[in-house]
Structure 1
Amino acid sequence: MEVTTAVLRAASTDLPTLPALEQEWLRRVREDRHLLFDIHHAVGGPFHLVYPRRFEDNLRAFQEVLAAHGVRGQVYYGKKANKAGCWLRATADLRGAVDAASEPELVHALAHGVRGRDIGVTGAAKTTALLRLAARHDCVIAIDALDELERLAQVAAADGRVRILLRCLPPTAPHSRFGLSEHDMERAIDRCAQLTSVVELLGYSFHLDGYDVRPRAEFAHALIDRCRAAKARGLPVTAISIGGGFACSYLDADDWADFTERQRAEWFHAGKRFEKFYPYAQEPTGAAMLDAVLATTIDGRTLATRLCDNDIELFLEPGRALLIDAGCTVFPVLGYKQNADYGITTVHGLSMSVSEQWKGSEFLPDPILAPRYRDPGAEPIASCVGGASCMEYDVLTWRKVPLPQRPEHGDLLIYPNTAGYQMDKNESEFHQLPLPPKVEISISGSRIRWRLDR
């Protein structure tokens, strides 16, 4: 039976909208009627926009919180969150640091002006080549296992003294594959005491899942006591790293609460169900969360006070929280068809460029339709969004999203706020499709300029 316009309108108005917390820079870009289409004309397919100015603002905010509390420290950009080079250049210019977990990441950071001394090397068991490269550039290396410590000691004997952190197994995550157990930690400290000629123990690190403030503050408080004990043994411990996991908000809190309370399978293509979503509206976020961690009181003293009193630096490794509001992804529309009371929009690109879908979840902020031609008489429609592959599960948006008019071939569909992990974490050249390029945006007065990220 033919689906009438009235049915389509009713379907689209019954669905929730989840508009992203859009930044002024992206509004400026969208208001330029030709810019996005000119970029598409130049690159020929899907592309990512990156806006380094917002990254700089986010980095400064974290640095200012440390300064406001009088805490010495360093903000390490978690490079795995996005591969673009522009963030590295901004980090170097603002005297920030970079968290790398592979040889290419480390080399990339060095090539964009980040000093080796300002690079932290983390991750699970590291190759000897990575340890050697990190040692020669005086990086801070997070040790995750006893055998890794021994391999690094061998490297240091040949290449010079190294600086390390010992990564702690969180007591709240005893089955994590990351971090040294209490037994191994004691053995590692003993070895550091024996290896002082080649290994300098700077301190301890950890990473917690989730976005709660108090567990991070409590663990950091506990590690201050561990630092004091290490100092009593003559080890020059001076730092604690609390890792990443700083909360971000993508949506208005009321919109998010309404969605989570009322969600049902009928809102999704083929009745798709998801076990969980990223918490798209949270408080506190970003630098405000760091402020809350530093202000957390244990036994009458804040974490900031205890760090200062014990002359301990605080390292942190935000990734997503430095990239929030700093990028978006643009997909050309290939076509649209109507199978039921909603449509299916197919775009030139793959769902691997929006990584939540490839983790069995969904990126929920509404995509924004940029039509070549606006139809003033158009009725709103509801549509999910599929990728260009031959796989049934290649779906960018399972949710039936209300759009202001029917998408047409040649239109563009914008996914806002994808810089943090969404853009390139799972991208693939499946079907021999080239990876979407990253396009750097800069704005000066009324002028918007763009260039390919290098």
Structure 2
Amino acid sequence: MTRIAIIGGGPRGLWAAEEVIRLSRERGLPVPDVDVYDDPASASAYDVAQPDYWRVNVRSAIIRTGIGAFDDWRDPDDGFGEFPPRALVGRFLEDSWAVLPVNRIPRRVEDLDTAAYDEILLATGHACTWPGALPGAVPVYPAGSLDVVSPGERVAVRGAALTFIDACLDLTVGRGGCFRDGRYVASGREPAAIMPFTRSGRLMEVKPDPPTRVELLHVIDPARPAVLRARSLPELIGVIGATAARLADASGTSDTDASAEIDAVLAGTDATDDELGALRAGVAGTRSARAAVGLAFRELYPEIVSRYSYGGRATLEGFGEFAARMERLAFGPPRHNAERLLMLIDAGVVTLDHLGSGSAPEADVLVDSVQAPARVLPGTLEHRLVTEGVARLAPETEALDVEADGTLVGQSHIAAVGRMTEQVVLGNDTLSRAMHTTIPRWAERVVGSRGLNPDLHGTPPMTARLEPWMSALTPGSAAGLLAEYGSPVNVLETGAFTRNAAELVASGARNDVDVRVFYARKANKALAFVDAAVEAGHGVDVASYRELEQTLAAGMPGERIILSAAVKPDALLRLAVDNGVTVSVDSVAELHRLSALAAGRPVAVAPRLAPDPATMPPTRFGERASTWREALSAPVDSVRVVGVHVHLHGYAAADRVAALREAMDLIDLLSPIHPGISFIDVGGGVPMSYLDDREQWERYQSLRADMAAGRTEPFTWKGDPLANTYPYFQEPVRGEWLDGILAQVGPALRERGLRLHLEPGRSLLDGCGVTLMEVAFVKTRSDGVPLIGVGANRTQVRTTSDDYLVDPLLLRTQPHSEEVEGFLVGAYCIEDEIILRRRMRFPRGVAPGDVLLIPNTAGYFMHILESASHQIPLARNVVLGEDGPELDRIDD
């Protein structure tokens, strides 16, 4: 098992742990052993014990983890709005950690034990200390640090950014003050003055409101490609400036000087003498030149990150200084906190008199609200790795040099994500998982695809049990069948049919019970399987007039047919009587109707028994034993009772044993009146297994349960829980399963001289068919989800259950291409036209003209729900024989 160490238990460490575990589970691979080290002495930004007035600086809508969206997790009436407390987000993160099978270790890591782990990921976040910290100053974090400030003292605070606002709130609201009716109401425990000082003399701009939908579509989105194409910093600044100008125009607040103001803001030469006025304008929501530039930068930031990160920075000389100016405009406090700061200023608690002084004013307490910069800093683990030669700094930066998947340059199994890579990977300080691909790429490298089909596998893999003839189908032969018969086409082969039936008969022979097999025709309409039953001497179970008519025409003798239709029109009963077919009568009323239709001609019947609902689930088929005892207490005209029939749901051997015993009790009571009873027919439900691998099935069930409970990300179409599916892995099956039943009831059957009749459909057709469909297109849904369109519709590989849980095979006719992971969609013009509801992964790509082979579909999946809606023809059915493929007679 792979051993992984993640150094740092913050949001990025969580994301990394989730990704490697999710990928491992989705690919059916062993889940790695993950140790997560978290320094208990560090001040976590999401400490659950911190006060609720310390808020996140991103809208809650972007916050999500493996258990889902934060806004779905939280109480919708918590009153915190779209910028909730960091403590609340911390509790969400803790709940996210709680569902992961990881070892969380509260210990500071001073050195890496590379021999103990196969993979190591550094995700250490903010440094606790750094050389630029003010000596003797009080830090803002963790909560409680500012308790050293006594009421009435004067407090100087270095910095005027987000941490400064946290300090102001801690020294006011945290001491009993409150905001009411647009003003601050003091508690009397506040400092006499809170005095920020900075080198720049600037406050952060209030976070601009999001763009309107029109602005997003017509201003922001058209600018995104231009950012990616920018060849230099001036060209990039030009794109941002033009976007800001259009946003200012769209707001209706621009004037003739807007362009000049925007240029000044971009250059950092705009006026700094009225920061209080700028704060008031921001709180009022005014779309100023600063706000327009900040909004443009923020909305284009994903493209800026992509353009700058890794090698892109080499052609953006001077970007660092420009970005520092822009971040103050784009990522400032939300209006909620800016309003509070303004009220504190108006109340005289906060004064801006020393904002641009660059040095601390005279004060009783000095507070440092400047956080450690994003880079490799002395005293950190990553700095030690650099000094030891394990890691290196990227040229002309103070950041770790990393590959696109976070792997340290020069290493193969040590990686880093976060602030220590900031000058290589831009924008690490975010809760958003949409900004970067480093962690998913790292997880992809770590997990890989060991042992998986390199062309196609599902999520998670469900590898089909294949017959040799299925594996022998080539891309050329499959494409030829599609060219001749259209897409999709059902390909049939009857060899396994005869083998499967013989397995059941052999079980009877081992247990000295006469077992006879009646193929359930409803499982597949092709006549090839009727022909195989005729040739092998088996019978057929029919469920409609056309099934009976076709089966008789195929040469099956009437005495080897049982009619078990749920609804039996008079014409169907007459056809059965005319041909000596045994009728499974479903009710007393049907028995007497059959008696009248027979008009004196003898007809063989098997009354259908509804077993005691106290012993198994209730059924709509048949009548209770007491009803049949009364109805058959005397002979019935034209009726010859030859057996008892039972229709059971599911595959439980215990249910069959109970039903057989109840049927034998009924036979014991009926035999004196109806001495010709010779068999019990327990219908179908003979188990088979589509999969060979029990572990794959168990891993799927575990992953599905976690998805349904919200403990992991959905891997199905729209999160469909797939609550009703066939048991695709079963054991024992067929003969071995029947051995277990006959071991319990065989002696009683032999004592009464009774045969056991079975009506398998799916189990006889195991290994007898595949469905081929041509790939028609590859595209994305409007939200970017990849879609692989095929020439088929969802009724053609579907039963009454939720989905077909077996991986297709890709018969490639086109060259390899980029990986695609998405959903198979079909031809019907509806949104949920999905062929398979699990996500499918094509590691080496897929393209129009390729062929998908859906294995083992002969049992029910081809025909039971097939539809010709849209006037699209039904799939043709081709039988493979000694002389090559031929169209089945059902399609003549």
Q: What's the TM-score once normalised by structure 1's chain length?
A: 0.90
- What amino acid sits opposite 1:424 in the alignment? H
How many residue pairs get aligned? The number is: 434
How many angstroms does 1:80 deviate by?
Answer: 0.5
How many angstroms does 1:306 deviate by?
Answer: 1.6
In structure 1, the residue corresponding to 2:531 is in which secondary structure?
helix
Task: Report the equivalent of 1:44.
Answer: 486
For the pair 1:20 / 2:460, whether they are aligned, the reply is no
In structure 1, the residue corresponding to 2:671 is in which secondary structure?
helix
Asked if 1 retains the 8 angstrom alpha-carbon contact of 2:814 and 2:849, the reply is: no
**TM alignment of 1:109-188, pairs within 5 A:** 109-158=551-600, 160-172=601-613, 175-188=618-631
In structure 1, the residue corresponding to 2:632 is in which secondary structure?
helix
Residue ranges of structure 1 left out of the alignment (5+ in a row): 297-302
2 CA distance for matches of 1:342 and 1:22?
30
Task: Report the equivalent of 1:355.
Answer: 798
Residues 40 and 74 of structure 1: is their aligned pair in 2 closer, same or farther, counting only changes over 3 Å? same
2:850 to 408, 411, 417: 411
**TM alignment of 1:307-322, pairs within 5 A:** 307-322=749-764
How many angstroms does 1:326 deviate by?
Answer: 1.0
Task: Report the equivalent of 2:57.
Answer: none
Among the aligned pairs, what percent are the same residue? 29
**TM alignment of 1:277-296, pairs within 5 A:** 277-296=725-744
2 CA distance for matches of 1:250 and 1:267?
21
2 CA distance for matches of 1:228 and 1:186?
10
- What amino acid sits opposite 1:306 in the alignment? A
Q: Provide, for residues 145-192 of structure 1, a one-character-per-residue CA deviation record: whole Å limited to 9, x for no partner.
A: 11111111112225x1000001011213574221112342122212xx
Asked if 1 retains the 8 angstrom alpha-carbon contact of 2:523 and 2:762, the reply is: yes
1 CA distance for matches of 2:809 and 2:483?
19
- What amino acid sits opposite 1:435 in the alignment? L
How many angstroms does 1:124 deviate by?
Answer: 1.9
How many angstroms does 1:28 deviate by?
Answer: 1.1
For the pair 1:78 / 2:520, whether they are aligned, the reply is yes
For the pair 1:254 / 2:695, whether they are aligned, the reply is yes
1:399 to 831, 835, 838: 838
Residue ranges of structure 2 left out of the alignment (5+ in a row): 1-301, 304-433, 450-457, 708-712
Q: What's the TM-score once normalised by structure 2's chain length?
A: 0.47
2 CA distance for matches of 1:323 and 1:12?
36
Q: Provide, for residues 395-436 of structure 1, a one-character-per-residue CA deviation record: whole Å limited to 9, x for no partner.
A: 011211122432211111111111111001111111111001
2 CA distance for matches of 1:380 and 1:12?
13
Asked if 1 retains the 8 angstrom alpha-carbon contact of 2:504 and 2:515, the reply is: no
For the pair 1:224 / 2:673, whether they are aligned, the reply is no
For the pair 1:383 / 2:831, whether they are aligned, the reply is no
2 CA distance for matches of 1:280 and 1:147?
38
Task: Report the equivalent of 1:420.
Answer: 859
2 CA distance for matches of 1:410 and 1:234?
63
1:213 to 644, 647, 653: 653
In structure 2, the residue corresponding to 1:382 is in which secondary structure?
strand
CA RMSD in angstroms, aligned pairs only: 2.3
2:878 to 432, 439, 443: 439
Q: Provide, for residues 298-343 of structure 1, a one-character-per-residue CA deviation record: whole Å limited to 9, x for no partner.
A: xxxxx11221121111111111010111111111111011346752
How many angstroms does 1:58 deviate by?
Answer: 0.9
2 CA distance for matches of 1:405 and 1:108?
46
Residues 390 and 274 of structure 1: is their aligned pair in 2 closer, same or farther, counting only changes over 3 Å? same
Asked if 2 retains the 8 angstrom alpha-carbon contact of 1:342 and 1:400, the reply is: no
Residues 371 and 239 of structure 1: is their aligned pair in 2 closer, same or farther, counting only changes over 3 Å? same
Residues 146 and 125 of structure 1: is their aligned pair in 2 closer, same or farther, counting only changes over 3 Å? farther
Moved more, 59-68 or 254-263: 59-68
How many angstroms does 1:383 deviate by?
Answer: 1.9
2 CA distance for matches of 1:323 and 1:113?
20
How many angstroms does 1:5 deviate by?
Answer: 9.9
Task: Report the equivalent of 1:87.
Answer: 529
How many angstroms does 1:209 deviate by?
Answer: 1.2
Q: Provide, for residues 198-232 of structure 1, a one-character-per-residue CA deviation record: whole Å limited to 9, x for no partner.
A: 21111211122121112201221232232222223
1 CA distance for matches of 2:665 and 2:859?
34
Asked if 2 retains the 8 angstrom alpha-carbon contact of 1:269 and 1:399, the reply is: yes
How many angstroms does 1:354 deviate by?
Answer: 1.1
Task: Report the equivalent of 1:201.
Answer: 641
How many angstroms does 1:48 deviate by?
Answer: 0.5
- What amino acid sits opposite 1:28 in the alignment? A
- What amino acid sits opposite 1:37 in the alignment? A
Asked if 2 retains the 8 angstrom alpha-carbon contact of 1:17 and 1:402, the reply is: no
Higher radius of gyration, 1 or 2: 2
For the pair 1:366 / 2:807, whether they are aligned, the reply is yes
For the pair 1:338 / 2:780, whether they are aligned, the reply is yes
Moved more, 228-237 or 279-288: 228-237
1 CA distance for matches of 2:749 and 2:675?
17
Task: Report the equivalent of 1:299.
Answer: none
Q: Which has the higher contact order (CA 8 A, sep 6+)?
A: 1
In structure 1, the residue corresponding to 2:698 is in which secondary structure?
helix
Q: Provide, for residues 12-56 of structure 1, a one-character-per-residue CA deviation record: whole Å limited to 9, x for no partner.
A: 969421111112110112xx3421111111112210111111111
Residues 234 and 210 of structure 1: is their aligned pair in 2 closer, same or farther, counting only changes over 3 Å? closer
Q: Provide, for residues 319-377 of structure 1, a one-character-per-residue CA deviation record: whole Å limited to 9, x for no partner.
A: 10101111111111110113467521011110000114xx36111101111121342xx
- What amino acid sits opposite 2:703 in the alignment? R
Moved more, 38-47 or 229-238: 229-238
- What amino acid sits opposite 1:386 in the alignment? V
Higher strand share: 1
Asked if 2 retains the 8 angstrom alpha-carbon contact of 1:204 and 1:241, the reply is: yes
2 CA distance for matches of 1:255 and 1:174?
29
Task: Report the equivalent of 1:300.
Answer: none
In structure 1, the residue corresponding to 2:644 is in which secondary structure?
strand
Asked if 2 retains the 8 angstrom alpha-carbon contact of 1:335 and 1:407, the reply is: no
For the pair 1:271 / 2:719, whether they are aligned, the reply is yes
In structure 1, the residue corresponding to 2:562 is in which secondary structure?
strand
Residues 266 and 125 of structure 1: is their aligned pair in 2 closer, same or farther, counting only changes over 3 Å? closer
For the pair 1:453 / 2:892, whether they are aligned, the reply is no
Asked if 1 retains the 8 angstrom alpha-carbon contact of 2:635 and 2:673, the reply is: no
